[in-house]
């Protein structure tokens, strides 16, 4: 069905093929894409838009609220008024906001991820999750379903290109917005995460705060060819989750933002509902895995719209390895045998 260069609208038309529920999902994604094309233009204006990166509040837990965060929220909320969406659960609003109350879908969204990178001209993005409103379910309850309930998810990367990475649970598809006509076209169909890329993404400055399983795993990677992994690893850390996710989908690697001992970081920094859950579906549909270190992200039922979650994603073998280290008692991890050979031979 998916042929390179087909437009997002054509792809969704072929996928929904007369099915009313699928047509509702398609209409929602098309409204998200339209709004992201508008946001892309605003981001590209950069310093010509007064106060674009201005801090206008504190979102708590190390997150500050920027002017563009709020503008992005308004943009997507206005767009989704035109879609079959009952409510939007946004990082930029304390509570879910009702749009079309009896509509069959809800959308969880991080309107602008990576806002600390706006003034440094580094890629930033939008992350979204689309969930069904089951019979008798309120929009608030619909937003707090486990990630396995998602009917679609995606993120938009505002970088050198504006790209939409999206799944309707039929593989992970990459659409690039042509600067000529601002139309999204399929440029990579059915992405598959490479299992072999020796590259990790973690904020290494937090090493002393990490739990021992993560310290053990990272010590092995940094031991290079002389260590248990018997290969040298490279590091990348952009500070925009969407940029890391895009790179890992394109060339492989492992991402970790663990919980750590800093006050407020016990469950890490990233949000479950509108960051980890949508990304986990994209990774899984691309043959990867996503975990909080002990559970698959897609199995976790959120308690709160804004709850944080430790997040690891990448090739299944790497994610399983990290999960295993969370099961091994720390004392074993300190033994010389472990540090030389590790518990899992490659």
**Which of 116, 178, 222, 307 is the binder for ligand AFP (CB under 6 A)?**
116
Look up 63 and say whether it is catalytic. Answer: yes
Q: Residue 11 CB, nearest distance to ligand AFP (Å)? A: 27
Which is the catalytic residue, given 63, 97, 141, 207?
63
Stretch that binds ligand AFP, among 27-35, 115-123, 141-149, 283-291 (CB under 6 A): 115-123
Per CB under 6 A, the list member of 26, 40, 90, 115 interacting with ligand AFP is: 115
Taking the mean position of all CA atoms in its chain, how far away is CA 9?
A: 23
Q: How many residues bind ligand AFP (CB under 6 A)?
A: 12
Residue 113: CB minimum distance to ligand AFP, A: 5
The token duo for 207 is 């090493």
Q: Residue 114 region, left (φ>0) first, then alpha (ψ -120 to 50), else beta?
A: left
Residues 142, 86: contact at Cβ < 8 Å? yes
Fill in the DSSP letter of residue 275: I
We find the least distance from the C-beta atom of residue 255 to ligand AFP, in angstroms, to be 8
| Residue among 31 and 113 whose Cβ is closer to ligand AFP | 113
Burial (CB count <10 Å: 0-12, 13-18, 19+), residue 42: middle
In the complex, what is the shortest distance from the CB of residue 99 to ligand AFP, in angstroms, rounded to a whole number?
Answer: 24
Nearer to ligand AFP, 114 or 139 (CB): 114
- Point out the catalytic residue in the list 91, 199, 244, 323: 91
Of these, 185, 229, 247, 269, which contacts ligand AFP (CB under 6 A)?
269
What is the pattern of x (binds ligand AFP, CB under 6 A) and - over residues 235-264?
A: ----xxx-----------------------
Q: Active site includes 69?
A: yes
3-state secondary structure of 241: helix
**b vs e for 222-244, b when ≥16 Cβ sit within 10 Å of the residue's Cβ?**
ebeeebbbeeebeeeebebbbbb
Cα of first residue to Cα of last residue in the chain, in angstroms, is 37
From 71, 113, 318, 323, the catalytic residue: 113
Report the candidate in 230, 223, 221, 216 with the shortest Cα–Cα distance to residue 199: 221
Neighbouring residues of 74: CB distance < 8 A, sequence distance ≥ 6:
none
| Residue 76 Cβ vs ligand AFP, minimum distance, rounded to whole Å | 16
DSSP letters, 5-37, are: T-BHHHHHHHHHTT-HHHHHHHHHHHHHHHHHH
Q: Clarify whether 112 is annotated catalytic.
A: yes
The residue among 113 and 318 lying less far from ligand AFP, judged by its C-beta, is 113
- DSSP character at residue 52: T
Report the site for ligand AFP in 276-305 (rule: CB under 6 A): none
Q: Which stretch binds ligand AFP (CB under 6 A): 78-86, 94-102, 111-119, 146-154?
A: 111-119
CB-CB contact of 213 with 326 (8 Å): yes
Task: Report if residue 63 touches ligand AFP, rule: CB under 6 A.
Answer: yes
Contacts with ligand AFP, residue ranges (CB under 6 A): 63, 113-117, 203, 239-241, 269-270
Residues annotated as catalytic (active site), given as ranges: 63, 69, 91-92, 110, 112-113, 275
């Amino acid at each position: 069905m998916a042929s390179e260069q087909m437009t997002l609208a054509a792809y969704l038309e072929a996928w929904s093929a007369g099915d009313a529920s699928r047509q509702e999902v398609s209409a929602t994604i098309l409204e998200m894409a339209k709004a992201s094309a508008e946001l892309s233009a605003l981001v590209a204006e950069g310093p010509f838009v007064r106060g674009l990166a201005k801090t206008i509040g504190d979102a708590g837990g190390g997150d500050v609220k920027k002017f563009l965060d709020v503008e992005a929220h308004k943009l997507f909320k206005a767009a989704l008024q035109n879609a079959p969406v009952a409510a939007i659960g946004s990082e930029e609003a304390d509570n879910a906001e009702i749009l079309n109350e009896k509509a069959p879908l809800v959308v969880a969204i991080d309107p602008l991820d990576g806002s600390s990178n706006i003034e440094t001209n580094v890629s930033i993005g939008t992350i979204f999750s689309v969930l069904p409103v089951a019979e008798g379910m309120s929009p608030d309850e619909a937003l707090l379903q486990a990630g396995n309930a998602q009917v679609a998810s995606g993120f938009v990367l505002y970088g050198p290109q504006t790209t939409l990475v999206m799944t309707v649970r039929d593989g992970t598809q990459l659409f690039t917005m042509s600067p000529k006509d601002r139309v999204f076209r399929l440029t990579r169909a059915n992405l598959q995460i490479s299992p072999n890329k020796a590259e990790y993404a973690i904020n290494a400055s937090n090493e002393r705060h990490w739990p021992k399983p993560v310290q053990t795993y990272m010590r092995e990677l940094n031991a290079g060819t002389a260590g248990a992994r018997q290969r040298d690893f490279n590091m990348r850390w952009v500070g925009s989750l969407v940029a890391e996710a895009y790179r890992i989908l394109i060339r492989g690697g492992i991402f970790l933002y663990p919980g750590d001992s800093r006050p407020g970081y016990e469950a890490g920094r990233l949000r479950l509902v509108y960051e980890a859950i949508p990304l986990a579906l994209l990774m899984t549909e691309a043959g990867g895995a996503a975990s909080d270190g002990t559970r698959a992200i897609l199995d976790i039922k959120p308690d709160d719209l804004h709850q944080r979650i430790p997040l690891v994603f990448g090739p299944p073998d790497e994610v399983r390895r990290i999960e295993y280290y969370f099961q091994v008692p720390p004392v074993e991890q300190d033994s010389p045998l472990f540090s030389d050979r590790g518990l899992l031979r490659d």
